[in-house]
Amino acid sequence: MTPPIPDGQDPMRALLRASHHLRADQLGTAVLRTAPRLDGVRLAVVYVVDYEQQSLVPLGGEGVPAREPLDVDESTGGGAFRRVAPVSSRASDGAVTLWMPLLDGAERLGVLELVFDGDAPEGADEAIRAYAALVAELCVTRDEYSDVLTRLRRNRPMTIAAEIQWELVPPLTFGTDRIVIAAALEPSYEIGGDTFDYAVNGELADLMVLDAVGHGLPAALLATVAVGAYRSGRRAELSLTDISARMNRAIEEQFTASRFATALLVRLDLAGGTLHWVNAGHPAPLVVRDGALLPPHPCRSSLPLGLQPGPAQECSVQLRPGDRVLLYTDGIVEARSPGGEFFGEDRLADFVVRAEAAGDPPPETLRRLMRSVLDHQAGQLQDDASIVLVEWRTGREEQMRL
């Protein structure tokens, strides 16, 4: 039974009060009962996005009307998710449905369907956005101690390796006035050796993309040790070369000589825009500037982690505001078409440039990119594929546009 909803309270206060003893499976009902306290709303349904970000799945509950999953690319609700902006539609009886993106910071969780008998009242925007933000935060907190939302987001079984990898990674999207980070992993239900990590601490952003040799559970275990060593070094405020050495030592001590991982360790100075990196046998970072891919940086790569005989070489480049940096595994650019054609760096950069010109936000760019990589291989991924897109900003872009 859903906790009682207090009478006489505004929707935010009522939902907050109910949330203290709210199970994850009761969230849909709590939203259904509190949303009508928003001016004009008569019905509300929560949808969460699946792991592949292809469908929006309704969260049921006591009294919640039956709904079918929505296609992210083809539905009105999917439009709100893709654009990260409210979208509305009108039914033949005059009822208006408002679709609100559910966001945890910059991370897209799903959408909220709000049905009005007519047009939404003027001045209701702020209250609706605040309510949707609270629903999103409750999705995050309920997911911490329940499998309800996790199960809902799956449309097929997940391998043990993929379970491990998804628990390792931070949110797929993060953003501040200085930096936007977006990431993607495929195949969502069988990912093994590919992973990524990041942390933004003050004026420094640390990022890592890693590809552990092999497939399945052995690769996931190697990646787990590597990520643990990476976080240990990062949190000890070590240099990139020292973090690389710590990761190399951990892999060397725990695995045989035939087991290793390629990786790219990156540190971005958010105040000045200097990008530093250590390349451990990995594809080099790509920088897209003013609609074009910059020439490859001459800095050479070190050996993969687990095979390094000495300190890795640190490289650096000065970014300009608006530059986009791509960190990826070889499963992206080495994806082969049935005719043997590689997806390639130029196609990758061109996709990002065209998406930026179309106004797609970084997380939507990567969602569509992964579909493009999959289509290039006729629907069959030949290797794990992961990518992180980083956009550096000065923090003055919004002011300059006003």
How does pLDDT run across 315-346, given as a tens digit for each residue? 999 999 999 999 998 888 888 888 888 888 88
Residue 14 pLDDT greater than 60, yes or no: yes
**29 confidence band (pLDDT: 50, 70, 90):** very high
With beta carbons less than 8 A apart as the criterion, state whether 339 and 354 touch.
no
Which residue type does 120 have?
A
Structure confidence at residue 4 (pLDDT):
67
Structure tokens at 191: 């990912």
With beta carbons less than 8 A apart as the criterion, state whether 198 and 381 touch.
no
Structure confidence at residue 376 (pLDDT):
86
Please state, as a whole number, how many other Cβ atoms lie within 10 Å of the Cβ of residue 95.
Answer: 14
pTM of this structure: 0.89
Ramachandran region of residue 73, left (φ > 0), alpha (ψ -120 to 50) or beta? Answer: alpha
**Residue with tokens 């309270």, as numbered in its chain:** 9
Alpha helices in 299-361 (DSSP H): 330-333, 345-357
CA of residue 370 relative to chain centroid, distance: 12
Least Cα distance to 98 among 62, 127, 71, 69 occurs for: 127
Element (H, E) at 114: strand 107-116
Residue 402 pLDDT greater than 60, yes or no: no
What mean pLDDT value characterizes the chain? 90
Residue 152 pLDDT greater than 70, yes or no: yes
Show the 3-state SS of 180-216: EEEEEEECCCCCCCEEEEEEEECCEEEEEEEEECCCH
Which residue type does 143 have?
D
Structure confidence at residue 382 (pLDDT):
66
